[in-house]
Each structure stands twice: as C-alpha cells, then as structure tokens.
A and B are shown apart, each in its own frame.
Chain A
C-alpha cells in the first residue's frame, strides 16, 4: 500500500510541478538543463501514474509492480500461480485502468514514432526528386519556392533544407546563423526530445497542460539550438534572421496549427534573449537541477521493483 501511495503522490507532484513549470522563466537562461528536467518529469509522471494503479492492484502478490505483473501474466496463462488473497473489485478495476493506461502510453509512443518516420521518409523521397544543390550553400538542399522556410529532416542522415525564398530573404551572415541553428538541431537530435511530447499531445488533445508543456518544450529546444548557434555566428544576425522570417511568412494559420499570437510570443522571447542575454544560471543551480532530474527519473523504476 505504501508503494502505491508513494507512486500516486509522485505522479501528482509531477503533474502539478509540470503545470507550475510551464510558467517558469528561469528556463530561458538554461534551456538545455530545463529540457532534461522536462524529460525527467514526463517519464516519472507516466511510470508513477500507471505504477500507482498497478501497485495497488497487484498487492496480493506481494512482489511489487514489475514482478507482480510477471506473476499475473503467468497465472493468467495457466492459472496455477494466483495470489494468496483473491482480487477484490477495486483491485480488479485498478488493474484494468493501470494496464489500459500503460498500453495507451506505449502504443501512442510507438505509433507516433512510426508515423513520424513515415512522414520523414516521404519528405526525403520528395526532396530527392525536386530539391537541388546550390554551390553557394554546400551540403544544404534547396527547394524552389518563394516562401521562407528553413528546417531540418532529422534521422541517421539528417538533411538541412532551405527554400529559394530564404536565400533571397536573408543576408549571407543571417543565412550562416540559420544554418548553424539547424546543425545544432541535427547534432543534438532535438527531434527525439520532441517526439514523446508531440505524441502525448496527440493522445490527449483536449488537455491544456499537455498542450502548454509541448509548446514550452518546443520553445526550449529552439532556444537550446540558438545557444549552440551563437557560438558560431553573431547572435544579432540570428535575431534579425528570426524577425525577417517571422514577418515575411504571413502564412495563414490553418486549423490545428499553432496560432500566430502564440508563435509571436515564442519568437519574440527568442529574439529578446539573443539581443540582450540575461546572466547564465549559476553552475551550482544547473548541477542541482540535473542531479534532481536524474534522481526523479530513477525513482519511479525503483518503486516499480519495490515489493509491497
């Protein structure tokens, strides 16, 4: 019972913590660290939430969640390894809820991964047919379209793509800045950071918290890439590139896409910290947050293993 209660508390703390954390602004001063904390919160919330239900449901086995699940599977298959006490109705309901939630989380993650891979493969195939190489920007694929676009197709062999419109819109220094930003996405595999949060959002489209969390993580990922890029280019050029991009876009916002007002805030926040960066978060604080994140991430799996 204690393990179940601890797991439930942990899940609740993660959910409340995530809600409050979406309003935190110190994260802009250390996006990399904040991303680590977000990932820890996400993993722990998932494992603690499902673990609490399963821990309560499987208590009759007295073996903890993971081994309890094993015993339950064995007894379900050949009926010979049932618990000492029989299941009560609340435990049966908790078992169904826990297993359903766990299955949904796993299926959603895998299907989002598969769908993302399919979308990328299609995108790559089309790029191979219609994108060209440009001697002015070696190693970058250029798509002949007047609209501004610069992005990266992540994968084992990531590709950075810009549109003809981008080449016209930006000065050479700004283009360098944009490419440095995109290479940072490629090197740090930011797509893998975003994948679970995007998947969760698709699974729970009505949840405001999940929506806010996903926007926040995407913004932090962009800021992290900005931070890497500014080592290789002028931050001011990156800022003007961002503004030029944003104001030139004027693309209509279709249903389901981020509203322009929401993206305006994000772009302006990035510009602001590029032009007048605040002080770095003290090293001590950053290490403390990373240590906390590691502890948090380890806590739920350990509780899954704890008997009782």
Chain B
C-alpha cells in the first residue's frame, strides 16, 4: 500500500494522460495497484477535487473527473517561484543563485574551468 501522497500523484498522472474526463471506475482499471479498493480511489479523487486539482461533472450516476490545469502549468508555476519571477519578494524559498549579466561572468567562468582542465 503506497502513501496517500504517492497515490494522489499516480492518479493525477493517469488523469493527465487521458484525453477526456474519466470516471472513478476507469481510474481504478488504469491504476497499476490492482489491490486498491474502489472506495480508496473515490476518496483520493474527492480529495484532489477539494484541493482544486480536479474538476468533476455529473454523468448519470457517476462523476467524471478531468484535470483543472495541465501538468506543465504546475511545473511552470513552480519554476516562476523558483526563479523568483513572481515579483512578490517573499522569503518562501531560498534560492541558489540569480541571473547575472555581462561578459565578465562568462570570461571568469571560462578562466575557472580552463584552469581545471590544464
């Protein structure tokens, strides 16, 4: 039995890979872990919907789920924050380095790496 976070992740991956909205039953069929109880899948889908990662629409007696955003959109959001491009100057993350301009940095980099090669 995988952790809940791991499960959320695999279910998101499955739904991202689909071209159309899917039901809980279809997710259950596509998931690698065959022992997973259908109620667990339902619970995770419900959690992901409440967190805003999935949107669901009624289809007869079942719900059909689709991703609220593409995977790339979330990656882009992470990177905007990682590169400090959101402009909010918060101290939420500590970053390794910021961009430099000018040829000085390139020349120095070249000098430092060449020194190693000799």
Which residues of A does B touch, CB under 8 Å? 112, 115-116, 119-120, 123, 125-131, 143-145, 147, 149-154, 161, 163, 178, 181-182, 185, 190-191, 194-195, 197-199, 201-202, 214, 221-222, 225, 236, 239-247, 249-258, 260-261, 263-264, 266-268, 270-271, 275
Contacts and interface: CB of A to CB of B under 8 A. Distances in A.
A249 B83 contact: yes
B95 interface: yes
B53 interface: yes
A128 to B, nearest CB: 5
Given A251-B83, A257-B84, A271-B108, A198 B96 contact: no
Interface stretch (B24-32, B33-41, B55-63, B99-107): B99-107
Contact of B83 (A123, A128, A149): A149
Interface in B2-19: 5, 8-9, 12
B82 to A, nearest CB: 4
Interface residues of B, number: 44
A268 B105 contact: yes
B78 A260 contact: no
A287 B97 CA distance: 30
Given A123-B78, A128-B9, 10 more contacts: A112-B91, A126-B78, A129-B12, A131-B78, A225-B94, A240-B112, A240-B113, A241-B96, A241-B97, A257-B86
5 contacts: A129-B8, A129-B9, A150-B96, A242-B97, A251-B85
Contact of B79 (A116, A149, A185, A270): A149
A125 B86 CA distance: 18
Given A126-B77, A130-B71, A261-B101, A151 B91 contact: no
Contacts of B104: 264, 268
Nearest to B98: A263
Interface of B: 5, 8-9, 12, 51, 53, 71, 74-79, 81-102, 104-106, 108-109, 112-113, 115-116
Contacts of A126: 74, 77-78
Contacts of B97: 150, 222, 241-242, 245-246, 249, 267, 270
A263 B93 CA distance: 17
